[in-house]
Amino acid sequence: MLSDNVKLGDEHAPHRSLFNALGFTKDEMRKPMIGIVSSYNEIVPGHMNIDKIVDAVKLGVAEAGGMPVVFPAIAVCDGIAMGHIGMKYSLVTRDLIADSTECMARAHQFDALVMVPNCDKNVPGLLMAAARVNVPTVFVSGGPMLAGHVHGKKTSLSSMFEAVGAKKAGTIDEEELRYYDEHTCPTCGSCSGMYTANSMNCLTEAIGMGLRGNGTIPAVYSERLRLAKMAGYAVMEMLEKNIRPRDIMTKEAFMNALTVDMALGCSTNTMLHLPAIAHEAGIELNMEIANEVSDRTPNLCHLAPAGHTYMEDLNEAGGVYAVMNELSKKNLLNLDCMTVTGHTVGENIANVKNRDTEVIRPIDNPFMNEGGIAVLKGNIAPDTGIVKRSAVAPEMMKHEGPARVFDCEEDAIKAIYDGKINAGDVVVIRYEGPKGGPGMREMLNPTSAIAGMGLGASVALITDGRFSGASRGASIGHVSPEAAVGGPIALIEEGDIIKIDIPANKLDVDVSDEVLAERKKKWQPKPAKVTDGYLARYEKMVTSGNRGAILEI
């Protein structure tokens, strides 16, 4: 056991004295030491119940013969961080989480790990750490929030942001806005639509690192406590069988995850996180393959913000395994991949039923014949631009309009709320990429403002930043190369005609190559927005969005 390096032999007597100081008994020191990474805090609604999840994991580990030891991981609430400088500190925490967890796991020689994350960067950060450390590891999340109820209809956080736009447009009053904010987020848990946190928790099941239900069992259900105990049992079985993350997170497993991603209609942020996780597992996952996967994968789910069903509905319908079972009917998954259950994907999903064909469409009757996400390319985005195709109105799948250019999110928000954006416009928000932000802020505020102002079916938005999973509409993010490094998005001028063709995977500005080349000669980099602290270090090390915004020395 790895932990023998700090427990056995005369030379480790000083180490044992410190375990004695922690209250370990001699019997406990003979057991495998299982690190439980707790993301509990009192600022993120998705994390306020994690202390109870952790207690259940500890019980499961102890019952199965291990010694559970808890240590922390940070997490940012993207909703609270949205629309101000705090959002610069969201994506960047993914790497802090991975780094700090690697440090804790290796410094203390844990034999195995149970990761207990929930929200947006917390899940991928811990998956990155799991791939690095490569000791037996199971994921069990805090679970999704139940949907809110406003005037008898289910709702979620995206509706709350859009209500702000509706108030600005004068279609609802102050009293109605207050009603929304008191009834939209009724419980603890990750926000109730197929946003980034729930997308990534669902993909832990698809990739094989989470038990069945990890992505969908609501946070407030006692079933999640039972799942947490089962995670404790499972990690001990993995330790006995020596099943490690890199045995699970293979190239085939990532292809399974991409396929399930397309079927579920997950957040565009998965296109950042999957390559970064694969990179840590020693696998190059080029996002150009996403369109190939999307072309052969039907979109089976339209959860909020794409539709009017929620995570609790997906759970009742059979969850991620039911979606995977539908996909297997057309041989779209590799069923031989190993998982944390000790069984293959095929064994896990055999005989799982789809219990609601309105929530999970049958494979022969999908919402769309293509997957929920598309990668666009063109003279604006020579590398990539990412759109959640399943959340785009049909009339916006092809769109041409004049560019309305803004060099930061705040300026765009002001123009939208001041009524300066008109039907047909294409809002361009640049210098918000991984380097330019720095931190690649989410643009839920402007997309929600556009929707709330009644422009969701007539105005598009493109950015080198990114979008919340709660964003909907013709919202194209991750445009690479980004403006800060002189990417073509930096060369767009006010009034240029932008051409968007999502079915053809195209994103272009109607300007000749010669004119763009002349503009490039005149382009000058902008001064760094942040010159000290973690963001300044991050800006120097971060790569492009199309590479997953990974860090390189």
- Give the tokens for residue 1: 């056991």
Full DSSP string of 209-244:
SB-TTTTTS-TTSHHHHHHHHHHHHHHHHHHHHT--
- Give the tokens for residue 502: 């999502």
Q: Which residues of 184-197 are buried (b: 16+ CB within 10 A; e: fewer)?
A: bbebbbbbbbbbbb
Beta strand pairing call for 374-376 and 384-387: antiparallel
Round to whole Å and give the CA distance between 457 and 390.
14
Say how many CA atoms lie within 13 Å of 135 toward its Cβ: 25
Round to whole Å and give the CA distance between 255 and 252.
5
The question of whether 468 is a catalytic residue gets the answer yes
Considering the candidates 468, 471, 475, 480, report the single residue annotated as catalytic: 468
Side chain identity, residue 460: A
Closest alpha carbon to 129 in 86, 169, 71: 71
- Cβ pair 458, 424 in contact under 8 A: yes
CA 183 to centroid of chain Cα atoms: 25
- Cβ pair 381, 479 in contact under 8 A: yes
* Environment class of 455 (CB within 10 Å of its CB; exposed 0-12, middle 13-18, buried 19+): buried
Please report how the helices 444-452 and 157-169 are oriented relative to each other, as an axis angle in degrees rounded to 10. 50
Positive or negative, the CA dihedral 90, 94, 100, 101 is positive
Positive or negative, the CA dihedral 522, 426, 378, 400 is negative
3-state secondary structure of 33: strand
Round to whole Å and give the CA distance between 156 and 191.
7
Round to whole Å and give the CA distance between 199 and 191.
11
Q: How far is CA 543 from CA 35, 124, 129, 481, 550, in A?
A: 31, 17, 19, 10, 6
End-to-end CA distance of the chain, in Å?
Answer: 33
What is the maximal distance between C-alpha atoms in the chain?
76
Side chain identity, residue 501: D
**CB contact set of 2 (below 8 Å; sequence gap of 6+):** 109, 110, 111, 135
* Residues with active-site annotation: 468
